[in-house]
Structures are given as structure tokens and as C-alpha cells.
Amino acid sequence: MRIVVGTHSFGRHGPVLYSFGQVDPVVSIAPGRVRGRIEQDTAVFLGVPYAAPPFGENRFAAPAPVAPWEGIRDALRYGATAPQPHRQHTLVPEPVIEGEDCLNLNVFTPDPGGPRLPVLVWIHGGGFTAGGNASPWYSGCRFARDGVVVVCINYRLGAEGFLAIEDAPPNRAVRDWIAALRWVQENISAFGGDPSRVTVAGQSAGGVACAALLTCPPARGLFRHAICMSGASMAWAGPERVRALAQALAHELGVPPTRAALASVDPDRVVAVQDAAVARLSRGSEAVRMAFGPVVDGELVLAAPYDSIRRGVPSVRLMVGATGEEFNVTAAATPGGVDEARLERRLGRMGLGPDAIAAYRTSMSGAEPWRVLGQAVTDSTFKAPAIRLADAWAGGGGSVHAYDFDWRTGVGDMGAVHCLDIPFAFDNLDASGVEEVAGAAPPQALADAVHGSWVRFVVDGQPGWEAYEPVRRPAMVFDETCKVVEDPWQLARTAGFSAGRR
């Protein structure tokens, strides 16, 4: 049945048009009609394909168009996730769903028949080897309540999405992101979205994906705002490294590193040996970096992205930030623990000289060595790249806002840990799995502040505080009390990290 358009109402952050009454909203898009369902006064469409299944003749190929269908296709359940390891413990609950039709997306809209609203396209994290769009943390119902249409996408992971293979197009996952954004341009108006008002956002690897799209020539004009949460590095892998990874994976599989040979191997088998291939390649290294990710190809991913930015940025408004203690959980669980000797060795391998190491010890006087290591890795992996991107974007004449999520959970030693800001940004503090990370009573007022800022940024590119500039470096610090602070990442900025430089 067609959804019945309701009346104007008011969400927590402004007026929206809700749809009430009838069930089973149906919309018409390019390949055919899709049926969704109503959840929290939101029309929800799950598992909608934006490209053909990337298997069979489409394995290791660029995303292919969706085949049209007859009748009405149900979009009532989450679609398949990309092949990935079945990990037992992750901070974000992201179920693994079997199936080949993994290039799918979810749409949350207050009214498919209403006025065209701004659109938020969400790219999930997971180190480019795991994750999916079916997490309850990514429900877009609260954004829809506040007048934003949300699209959450899946994309190919690991070797399927990023491995450089002879006679196969590189950066297949990047091509998936672009295909999803083009789907939004062609179809989102059917869901009440405005294709001229698209914001692309992501966290961790999803934030890195957004950073890649900023300088990706084929992505120009597909979005007007971008949010990089805990992921802003542009230290793309070069040809030598990706060739070595392909050779290592092929060695583990016992096949040559060609498209035909690798396509003959079951996807689950490829996933099963990925970690072994990465371990073979990085043996003896303690560096923290993603093995898979965007690869320099000169077409989609540029070799010198910062130079491109400094020559002039596209008219995209950017927001970039991180949590205060991204790496706490991993540092606390370091095998064998972290003593002073290991701390100094790790900091030295990150490019820190004696003065910088002394600065960390002074600023964190009395802290256990693992906490100092956790902060240094947080700064190296997340904050220093965010500063570099913000400086370059502002220097190229672009608009950029910076933030730091500093609220510390009382759960264990997590602190302001990686991923903690996601349920606050989505205003999903009641979602499954949030209590295990944020505790029994996370502050709703903080969620109102973070989520409200994200809504404002999606609407007009102005989150509610002054823009970043590379002299005073103002950034919003989200905590029990939210305030703008000048240069809150000074230590990360001045430490001299070698990681992430390119």
C-alpha cells in the first residue's frame, strides 16, 4: 500500500514532515518498485541493491548495474554483508549476514512523498575488512525524526574490495562508494531526499573512505558536505606495497595473483587467509595501520592528495574529528603488557624523538605506560591526520570544522574510546550494545548536542561553532560541558609523528 502523507510535526531539532497511518510504504526507483516498513514513525527500506552481486562474472570487477525486477521487491530485512571474518568481539555490534547480494543500502526517511530533505550517506568502519550497515547503532530513525534522509551502504571488503590484482580494476570498494552515491543521485528523490544536498559521512575506515572521496575526481559533484569521524588519513598505499600484499595472499592460497586464479577461490577461503597474508607481509613490525584500503591508481586515488587540496578544494564543507582516547582498549590489552622499555621502543618506532617522548611523559605524569602508549597511538593514527587534513582544507580555501569527543565512559579502562561517539551522533543511546560501551546511563544531553550538531551540518554545513583555521585552531570539545577550545590537539600536532606522512 502507498504510504499516506501525514502532517507537519516537530522533532527534537526542528520541523519535519512525518508519515503516519498506513503500513508498507512503496516507492518506485530505476530498477523497479520496493516495499519498506514503518519504524518509529519512519519509513525504512532495508537491503535495497545499488549494484549487482559482485560474484560470478562480476567477481573482482567494477560494480555492475542492478538488473530490473518485476512487481514489488520487499525491502523489509537487512541485506547481505560483504564476506568477512566472523569476529566474536567488536565495539560496534555489526551482524554478519550471509548472501551474495552484498552491494546494498538502507534508507530511513520521514516521508517518501514529502518535500525534498537533506541526505546523509553513511559509510561504516571496520578496518576495510569487517563491518556492515545492519548495526542498530546506524539506525537513521532519529535523523529522520529531525528532517534528514539517511542512507547506510555496504561495500566490498578486504581482498575483494582492495587487493591490487592483474587484469582487474583497482579500488573496487572505492568504485562501490561512488556507485552508491550515484544511486543516491538517481533515486533518493523517490524517498523524499534532495540529491543536491548530500552529506557523506563515516567513522574509522568509513572516515578514511570519506577522506578518499574528497579528492576522488569521479566523486566530484556527488556530495556537498563530508564528515570524517576518527578517520582522516590520506597515507594511501603505493604500488610496491599492494603488489607485495597480492603476492603474499596468492602464496597463502597457492594460486598466481591474477583475477582468473583468485576468482576460482571461494570467497570464504580468501577471507580465511587474509590475516595470514598480512602477517607474512608485516612480520616484525609493530606499526598500527590498515592492511587493506585505498590504493594509489592516479584515477580514483591520487598519489599526492594534500598537494591537490592545497591547489584548491572543491566546494565541499568538511567536518573532521576524533575521540579523546581512541586506542585505550587495544593498548590495555597489549600481549605481554607495556612497560617503560616497551613504551619507549614503540614511541621511537612511531617517529618520536626524545623531546616528544618526554612531552608525553610530562603531559601524562603518573599514567601507566599503556595509557601513554594508547594516547600516542591515538594521536598518531587519528588526531595528527585529522589536523593535517583540516590544515590543508582550510589552506586550500575550504570550510572545515573540527571537534574532539572527550566524554569518558565509566566502563572498564575504555575512556573516550574508539567508536564511542557513534551512538551519540545518531542519538541511539538506547540501541543494543551501547550500554556495554557507554554504561547504563550515558548523558542524553550530550547526545542532543552531538546529534544536533550533525543535523545542522547536514542541513547547511554549519554545526554551530566557528570554523577551523590553522592559527588559533578552534575545535568543539564534546564532554559533560561542551565548549570551543583553541588548539586542543597541540601535543599530537607538535610531536612529529612519521606515521601517515605521504
Burial class of residue 58 in the structure, from the number of CB atoms within 10 Å of its CB (0-12 exposed, 13-18 middle, 19+ buried): middle
Distance, CA of 153 to CA of 50 (rounded, Å): 9
Question: 204, 230, 308, 380: which is the annotated catalytic residue?
Answer: 204
- What is the distance in angstroms between the CA of the first residue and the CA of the last residue of the chain? 54
Long-range contacts of 63-72 (CB under 8 A, 24+ apart): 63/103, 63/172, 63/175, 63/176, 63/179, 66/30, 66/31, 67/31, 68/30, 68/31, 68/32, 69/31, 69/32, 70/32, 71/32, 71/33, 72/26, 72/32, 72/33, 72/34, 72/35
Q: 418 an active-site residue?
A: yes
Task: Identify whether 451 is a catalytic site residue.
Answer: no
Any idea of the CA torsion for 18, 22, 25, 28, to the nearest 10 degrees? Answer: -100
Q: Count other Cβ atoms within 10 Å, centred on residue 486.
A: 10
Q: Which of 380, 418, 451, 453 is catalytic?
A: 418
Distance CA 404, CA 476 (A): 6
Active-site annotation holds for 326: yes
Q: Are 111 and 123 in contact (CB under 8 A)?
A: no
Alpha carbon distance 52, 61 (integer Å) = 11
Q: Which one is catalytic: 19, 326, 401, 451?
A: 326
- DSSP character for 66? P
SS3 425: helix
Q: Is 93 helix (H, G, I), strand (E, B) or coil?
A: coil
Cβ(413)–Cβ(329) under 8 Å?
yes
Which of helix, strand or coil describes residue 415? strand
Cα 417 from Cα 439, distance rounded (Å): 13
Distance CA 179, CA 62 (A): 9
Instruction: Name the one residue in this structure whose C-alpha cell is 550471509.
Output: 98
Strand order in the sheet with 26-29: 26-29, 32-35, 72-74
Would you say 304 and 310 are in contact if contact means Cβ atoms under 8 Å apart?
Answer: no
DSSP β-bridge partners for residue 409? 415
Separation of alpha carbons 200 and 295, rounded Å: 20
- Burial zone of 305 (CB within 10 Å; 0-12 exposed, 13-18 middle, 19+ buried): buried
Distance CA(239)–CA(236), nearest Å, equals 10
Helical segments of 292-433, H only? 305-310, 328-332, 340-349, 354-363, 369-378, 384-395, 422-425
State the catalytic residues.
Answer: 204, 326, 418
